[in-house]
Amino acid sequence: MSLYAQRGVSAQKEEVHAAIQNLDQGLYPNAFCKLYADFLGGQSNFINIMHADGAGTKSILAYLYWKETGDITVWKGIAQDAIAMNLDDLLCVGIYDQILFSSTIDRNKLAITGDVLSQVINGTQDFFTTLKSYGVNIEFLGGETADVGDVVRTIAVNGTMTARWPKDKLITNDLIAPGQVIVGFSSHGKATYETEYNSGLGSNGLTSARHDVLSKDYATKYPETFESQLADEVVYIGKNKVTDTLEIPGFGPISVGKLLLSPTRTYAPLVKAILTDHFDAVKGMIHCSGGGQTKCMKYLPGNMRIVKDNFMPIPPIFNLIQANSGANAREMYQVFNMGHRLEIFTEASKAENLISIASSLGIDAQVIGRVEESNNKELILKGAFGEELFSY
């Protein structure tokens, strides 16, 4: 059993998928998000969507970092995480504008102060203001903030996004087909719309990242940051403190805490630019979130083989996690994005245009794989680690 599973977390969410298997899959079952007929407007050429996600256990890491360093501004990053995890899912069905957002914050008032709430709430509005300057308009409708210390030990930061969108501007993944290539867009570095280096970690796999990298000292100091029923051998098994530093080429030393807490990069400015000028080039789009580099297999419109054999260099944060945990490549690529968190399926002749747009925004991009014919749904990952086969 993987360390991830031993900590009570599933990268593939098997039990969740089993629980919802009998639900309506929406108008486009292969789309990255569930899409429904236009109940709000009553027009046959529009769809409605309501999507929920959040910062996950990254908020626990923010709590630990805040308590250790006194840096309360780290909570603004958690606000961005909750937004980006929603927004970047919507991007994958083609929605990048005229979106409504409602936040849901559950806190333990004995652990989380009002100043922390202010950072999260004001950080939400600040992020929307930044996105607006790139033509991505999201209205913040407020939401629910509840003091539920009997339910949460620290804080949970989540949100819901709602939109109405024309059907002829949707990306449904139904056009993914053999012969296409996959362009991967880097999750790390510093995009033109980011203010500092982004480690690329995002908001997935943070349970493993936190326990694998950080020292056992934190288990004693902050017992409220982990499930008490976990076996001691999977709790804070790493070598690092949040204040330790890692040398990042071109950016200098950055603390381990900051690397783990890098706000999730949104690809909204990039996707808006691509879909505005090259909509027909996009045959499918995948957000490599929960499930990492295996995420794409859930959204294929039929039997085909995905081959990813030209990965970008692995960002330092993932090497740090693997060095601490000893996890094998198969687990790492199932849990983490490992360097690119957005994939666009396109014709080979169109790839360079997409890569050029990314470059103009300071985002590295390259063809990382391709789609081949197959009698089954298969995924092959190849790299310096060898080869891993996944069958579905």
Give 261's pLDDT tier (boundaries 50, 70, 90).
Answer: very high
Q: 268 in a domain, yes or no?
A: yes
The helix (run of H) or strand (run of E) holding residue 152 is none
Q: Is residue 84 part of a domain?
A: yes
Is 234 a member of any domain? no
| pLDDT tens by residue, 330-344 | 999 999 999 999 999
In the Cβ-directed half-sphere of 100, how many Cα atoms lie within 13 Å?
11
Q: Look at residue 195 and tell me whether its pLDDT is greater than 60.
A: yes
- Domain of 179 in residue numbering reads as 3-196+262-391
For residue 237, being part of any structural domain is answered with no
- For residue 91, give the CATH number of its domain: 3.30.1330.10
Residues 6 or more apart from 130 whose CB is under 8 A from it? 193
**pTM of full prediction above 0.85:** yes
pLDDT single digits (tens) 115-173: 999 999 999 999 999 999 999 999 999 999 999 999 999 999 999 999 999 999 999 99
Strand partners, 135: none
The DSSP string of 317-333 is: HHHHHHHHH---HHHHH
In a domain, 251, yes or no: no
Tokens for 384, please give them. Answer: 């310096």
Assess if residue 331 is contained within a domain.
Answer: yes
The Cα 295–Cα 286 span in angstroms is: 7
Whether 236 is in a domain gets the answer no
Count up the domains in the chain and report the number. 1
* Domain assignment present for 114: yes
